[in-house]
Structure 1
Amino acid sequence: MIIHLVPGICKFRSQVLGFRSYCTDKVFVDIGQPTPASHPQLLKDGEITPGISSEEYILRRKKLLELLPDKSLAIIAAAPVKMMTDVVPYTFRQDADYSYITGCQQAGGVAVLGHDCGLCMFMPEADPYDVTWQGPTAGVDAALDAFKADKAYPLSKLHEILPDMISGSSKLFHNIQTATPAYMKLEAFQKQASCNNVRDISVYTHQLRWIKSPAELKLMKESASIACQGLLLTMMHSKTYPFEGMLAAKIEYECKMRGAQRMGFNPVVGGGNNASIIHYSRNDQKIKHGDLVLMDIGCELHGYVSDLTRTWPPCGSFSSAQEELYELILETSKQCIELCKPGTSIRQIHNHSVDMLQKGLKDIGILRGVGSSSYHKLNPTSIGHYLGMDVHDCSTISYDRPLKPGVTLAQDISRNP
């Protein structure tokens, strides 16, 4: 509510009440992240995060409980805040498993999932100093009302409540990527660990996240569309501004202007020989006339990332040698896309790409033989990887597993020589 006190008669909106006027806008509670009440342009009623309903989050928790052994407990901590300097934090990004189960996009919490307790969230308590400088954050009320937790307590109560939950469990699973001393130092946790009863939860969460729901696929398509549109505009920009740094800035601008919250990773913009550096990140060179530029980019939209790579000549035309190589990679890419269907594995798709490129590079004259060692010196990368809430998503899932409907992957064929 906004209240203005001014001398005389003050007009504010449609109400005039002598010396006082009041804002009649609908009042909502700020929980530190968008809600349908605070951001109706982003979320529909019933959604916890944009595009994902509370029913879907509850179903995720149910499916995870079905995978967990009887009398087991899952502990998933939020991602920590990482500092760039002693007072300047890096932009926060939530851990994918914590986000997948809770929908909470804020640091400091610990989620516990069990057959008896359901979802229990331990939430950090707001510090007045932090609220002044950084704004409100989600607490116990938000955990129950916004995130639909079954139980919620202040984080300060974790050492009183969690030990009994752990002691009543036969096996513990936790997210080793975000493990925190807040629960790992508890005597009950250490006792379970000493008995070899503690495992990594990702073996189950990755299995769930591997197959995307229709709502997730919609977000991923939108993320890919944003990245594609941004990259097309960046290509057109490259002839006038053939600088790696400027192209990196252009793609980030175009993605964010179309709704992306951040880039999925630091853009790789490699001109000439820099394109052969797989995770090139300096982006500080001018692209020479006649050289190709490779851009490996992706953006994140409401927790779901895209990843695409393109190579082109900023000068506007390929040389004959460049065109011959480009056509080989393009044809390989088309065939590999055709193989992306249920029953085929990433490994099989990769092996097909290796066979095609080895033969093609030999025909062109780049490779003298078809031995794998000489080819892998040119291209040590895989044809692709799983894609979702992380760029290299579901890392515990083997590339030999047959694909299923709902599985998404990035094809990195343009990263080849």
Structure 2
Amino acid sequence: MRTLVQKLLPRTTFKQVVAFRGYCTDKILDIGQPTAASHPELMKEGEITPGITADEYITRRKRLLELLPENSLAVIAAAPVKMMTDVVPYTFRQDADYLYVTGCLQPGGLAVLSHDFGLCMFMPETKPYDVLWNGKIAGVDEALEFFKADEAYPLRKLREILPDIIRRSSKLFHNSSTASPAYVDLEAFRKAAENGQVKDISLFTHELRLIKSTAEMKLMKESASIACQALLQTMMHSKTYPHESLLSAKVEYECRMRGAQRMAYNPVVGGGCNGSVIHYSRNDRKVKEGDLVLMDIGCELHGYVSDLTRTWPPCGKFSAAQEELYELILLTNKECIKLCKPGASIQHIHECATKMLREGFKELGILKNLKSDVFHHLNPTSIGHYLGMDVHDCPRVGYDRPLKPGVVITIEPGVYIPSIFQGPQRFAGIGIRIEDEVLITESGYEVLTGSIPKEINQIESLLNNFCFGSTMHGPKFMKASTC
């Protein structure tokens, strides 16, 4: 059918197709992503993406150019479309660096930055049948008028224009994770790479992305708030429906209903011993009576992600062994949060967490001595990571870097004890993690996920006094019960 449509389409002009699509969007021309004109409920005049103004994007580009060495060039490609099957793509997510510099949420583009001309965008072109099947996308006009590029050209002109710019540059920086054959296959680029002139642009972009602007902090707080509300609703339903898959579906539904565009990652919903698998993602088991469920979730709001974890017993009561381990993890979580302040580092906080957990595990009989290598099997993760446009944000920035106001990190102590365990059997198969998001401020810190309960008495009260039933029906679902 598509072939037939393509054969018929030449009889229809491109302007006619665009006009038709414009009519379908209330006569406001679509540029392939929200604008203040098309989505006034979402964006304000002067914003390129929700919450981030054109002025802020222009400032980002200027700051990036200030970091680039003299006579150097930066090339940043949009993320590629990834296919699930032959004609079915995965949901597109823009590369964080390309989004940070351009504000463009669409695939196919290329951004080039230079001290000589500022930002030049090479934009994909569409044919009438592309518009018919996939909708309008931004082109050269939108690059200049909406994204505020200094120069813009259709992507087909890349081979005419870019090689000369590369040859005139002494150094070339690009985003290797989205490297596109459109420029990588150019002879000028290959020669620059052979001569050792090509480096990764993340050396500079991660430095810029590390410290959040006021607008970015606002979006991150909103993203955290959505995730907190969604997880709270999910916890209150877990007693009635203690199934990993249902809890995963519930939390995603609650995030999306509150405005999140997507989950930041596949939710981790580990019941019982599955909670001791750090990145467990199958989410296909029923949580047994008396077991804990470890839920690690986050959502994405207009390019900024959240990341938090809570562990609780859907039955409404911690066992004695669960409570002993939980209190240790909770104390570590709270003490590490107190260490979050300007001048501290993730590495320093991690070392303090390691000391607390080793001493706690020894006191509980889980470790025979404080220096036991078994500790690394029970707690193989860092105490936290940077958070922002990506979940593990700015990986080029070391964890020994002193924290500054505007940096967001996670604090996530945990213990992951396998079912087969050479230690006190009352702890076998228990996985616990308590993760919070922390914004570093001038005077210390702000916990962005503080609205989610984590004290044992709070959790048990929530589950026993405020849990909900459901209106779902069918043989696979339990009847709604009164909690």
Q: TM-score range by the shorter chain?
A: over 0.9
Q: Which residue of 2 aligns with 1:271?
A: 271
Equivalent residues in 2 for 1:197-346 (5 A)? 197-346=197-346
Q: Match of 2:373, SS?
A: helix
Distance in 1 between the 2:389 and 2:130 partners?
A: 28
Per-residue CA distance 1:96-155 (angstroms, 9 max, x = gap): 000000000000000000000110000000122221111110110110111000000000
Q: Which residue of 1 aligns with 2:85?
A: 85
Measured after TM superposition, the shift of residue 372 of structure 1 is 4.8
Per-residue CA distance 1:11-61 (angstroms, 9 max, x = gap): xxxxxxxxxxxx9x9742200000000001111100000000000000000
Q: Which residue of 2 aligns with 1:46?
A: 46
Distance in 2 between the 1:404 and 1:199 partners?
A: 27
Per-residue CA distance 1:229-280 (angstroms, 9 max, x = gap): 1001100110000000000000000000001000000000000000011111
Name the amino acid aligned to 1:284.
D
Q: Match of 1:76, SS?
A: strand
Q: Which residue of 2 aligns with 1:358?
A: 358
Higher relative contact order at CA 8 Å, sep ≥6: structure 1 or structure 2? 2
Distance in 2 between the 1:307 and 1:411 partners?
A: 10
Q: Which residue of 2 aligns with 1:14?
A: none
Retained in 2: the 8 A contact 1:123–1:154? yes
Equivalent residues in 2 for 1:1-80 (5 A)? 27-80=27-80
Distance in 2 between the 1:52 and 1:271 partners?
A: 39
Equivalences, count: 394
Q: Match of 1:384, SS?
A: coil
Q: Which residue of 2 aligns with 1:104?
A: 104
Q: Match of 2:374, SS?
A: helix
Per-residue CA distance 1:276-310 (angstroms, 9 max, x = gap): 11111100000000000000100000000000011
- Identity over aligned residues, as a percent? 71
Measured after TM superposition, the shift of residue 374 of structure 1 is 1.3
Q: Match of 2:335, SS?
A: helix
Distance in 1 between the 2:233 and 2:106 partners?
A: 33
Retained in 2: the 8 A contact 1:309–1:415? no
Higher mean C-alpha deviation, range 372-381 or range 237-246:
372-381
Distance in 1 between the 2:328 and 2:89 partners?
A: 45
Q: Quickly say closer, same or farther: Cα 1:415–1:229, change in 2 above 3 A.
A: farther
Retained in 2: the 8 A contact 1:174–1:200? yes
Distance in 1 between the 2:63 and 2:167 partners?
A: 24
Q: Quickly say closer, same or farther: Cα 1:387–1:415, change in 2 above 3 A.
A: farther
Name the amino acid aligned to 2:413.
I
Distance in 1 between the 2:414 and 2:147 partners?
A: 41
Distance in 2 between the 1:390 and 1:414 partners?
A: 22
Distance in 1 between the 2:191 and 2:325 partners?
A: 59
> Displaced runs of 4+ in structure 1, greater than 2 A?
25-28, 414-417
Distance in 1 between the 2:139 and 2:414 partners?
A: 46
User: Is 1:127 the counterpart of 2:97 in the alignment?
Assistant: no
Distance in 2 between the 1:64 and 1:122 partners?
A: 19
Q: Which residue of 2 aligns with 1:95?
A: 95
Q: Which runs of 5+ in 2 are unaligned?
A: 1-22, 417-430, 432-483
Q: Quickly say closer, same or farther: Cα 1:341–1:82, change in 2 above 3 A.
A: same
Q: Match of 2:111, SS?
A: strand
Retained in 2: the 8 A contact 1:269–1:280? yes
Q: Which residue of 2 aligns with 1:388?
A: 388
Higher mean C-alpha deviation, range 91-100 or range 355-364:
355-364
Retained in 2: the 8 A contact 1:73–1:172? yes
Name the amino acid aligned to 2:330.
L
Higher mean C-alpha deviation, range 405-414 or range 215-224:
405-414
Per-residue CA distance 1:145-177 (angstroms, 9 max, x = gap): 110000000000000011111111111000000
Q: Which residue of 1 aligns with 2:405?
A: 405
Distance in 2 between the 1:183 and 1:160 partners?
A: 11
Q: Which residue of 2 aligns with 1:167?
A: 167
Retained in 1: the 8 A contact 2:264–2:299? yes
Q: Which residue of 2 aligns with 1:6?
A: none
Measured after TM superposition, the shift of residue 414 of structure 1 is 4.3
Q: Which runs of 5+ in 1 are unaligned?
A: 1-22
Distance in 2 between the 1:92 and 1:252 partners?
A: 17
Q: Match of 2:251, SS?
A: helix
Distance in 1 between the 2:35 and 2:335 partners?
A: 43
Distance in 1 between the 2:241 and 2:123 partners?
A: 48
Q: Quickly say closer, same or farther: Cα 1:415–1:49, change in 2 above 3 A.
A: farther
